[in-house]
Amino acid sequence: MIGYAGSFNVLDYGASADGITDDSQALLNAWNDACSSSAGSPEVIIPQNMIFFLSPLTLKGPCNSENIYFVISGKLVSPMSPSIWTGQDPSQWLAFRNVSGLIVDGSGAIDGQGQGWWDQSCRYHPEMEGCTKLAPTALKFIFCSQCSISNIYFANSAQTHVLIERCNGFKVDNVMIQSPGNSPNTDGIHIQSSQYVAITNSKISSGDDCISIGDLSSNIQIYNIQCGPGHGISIGSLGKGGNYVQVENIHVNNAFFYGTTNGARIKTWQVGRGYVRDVTFENLEFNSVKNPIIIDQNYCDVRGACKEMVTGVQISNVGYKNIFGTSSTDIAINLNCSMSVPCTDITMQLIQLTPATSGRQVTAYCRNAYGQEYGIEPGPCLSQV
């Protein structure tokens, strides 16, 4: 064991920390020693004022101790060239897998250096031969339980910045995520097949959803978030392959959206089945947002071109409360629900949305959406049962 008992500094394992030499093996060796250590709460140390260049890397558990600390005080940087991933999983750069009690913390940064990927993205360059649909996530947590990440700065991931997948018990607090508003598919945080996740006190600027929630996710708390630019806080899209969707107990409270494409969004594919239920959006503020409140139960590849189907994901018991701000489009509230599987038990109260541009008016559009409302402007909108 290197260093004092319980502390595993990557410099002691031969890391160059020059931002050019590959430090992946040094980090892997430090992690493996920390993970197998019998120390009470071992720490992997990424020291400050240094830059560590890392190739794609997975840090695996389970570990011996109940908690393991991963302290990022310096800067971790990704390879700039997509060619580095030849023959490897293009969706992954850094990942933790099958770790319990992991605590990622520090004043450092994780830089995905995604420009090379963005320049060959199929979203923006569909005619390009060999364009890429899949690009690396900066940091993945897979099969992790009772873990947390806090105080880290993320920048310019090639695709999603943070992925929480098949995790149980996960906290994200006081992180900052920044990528350009036109960077393709750069979600801030994506939650997939996970339970008991809390995201709090964070600021996210991205080219896609600030926070997105995928299928098989439940008991998600999102509190005190600044979002913009980006595509808002989204549940979905869900049910693309006709699968049975199960999403419930999602609570978004105290969020501010600045210049985003969407605010509070739920989107499901017509071919999907299953349910989204027990969702609350409350204490939200919008500043010049295109779609402040939106449900799209008829999501499809080409907007408006898909024929209405008899299938659909059941959306029920969704509440919107104490929401105000400005819409940059004419439709401030847009609940586009399925004729076959309508939205039910929708509650809207104390909502005040006005035009971002003076002299214009905003409206509310509700289709096949049933519930109760009071104190709504624009409105009324919902159909009564």
Supply the residues annotated as catalytic.
Answer: 231
At 1 the three-state DSSP class reads: coil
Q: What is the DSSP letter of 241?
A: T
List Cβ neighbours of 316 (8 Å cut-off, separation of 6 or more). 275, 276, 277, 343, 344, 345
Alpha helix ranges (H) inside 46-173: 115-118
How many CA atoms, within 13 angstroms, populate the side-chain half-sphere of residue 147?
A: 27
Report which of 325, 329, 339, 313 is spatially closest to residue 364, judged by C-alpha positions: 329
Cα–Cα separations (whole angstroms), residue 134 to 35, 214, 232, 299: 31, 17, 21, 21
The H or E element spanning position 72 is strand 68-72
Answer yes or no: are the C-beta atoms of 277 and 317 closer than 8 Å: yes
Cα separation, 135 vs 252, whole angstroms:
28
CA dihedral defined by 374, 377, 383, 385, rounded to 10 degrees? -10
Query: According to the 3-state scheme, what is the secondary structure of 255-314?
Result: EEEECCCEEEEEEEECCCEEEEEEEEEEEEEEEEECEEEEEEEEECCCCCCCCCCCCCCE
Cα separation, 140 vs 217, whole angstroms:
16
Cβ atoms within 10 A of the Cβ of 126, count?
9
Report which of 130, 60, 44 is spatially closest to residue 96, judged by C-alpha positions: 60
Cα separation, 181 vs 178, whole angstroms:
9
Cα separation, 217 vs 167, whole angstroms:
10
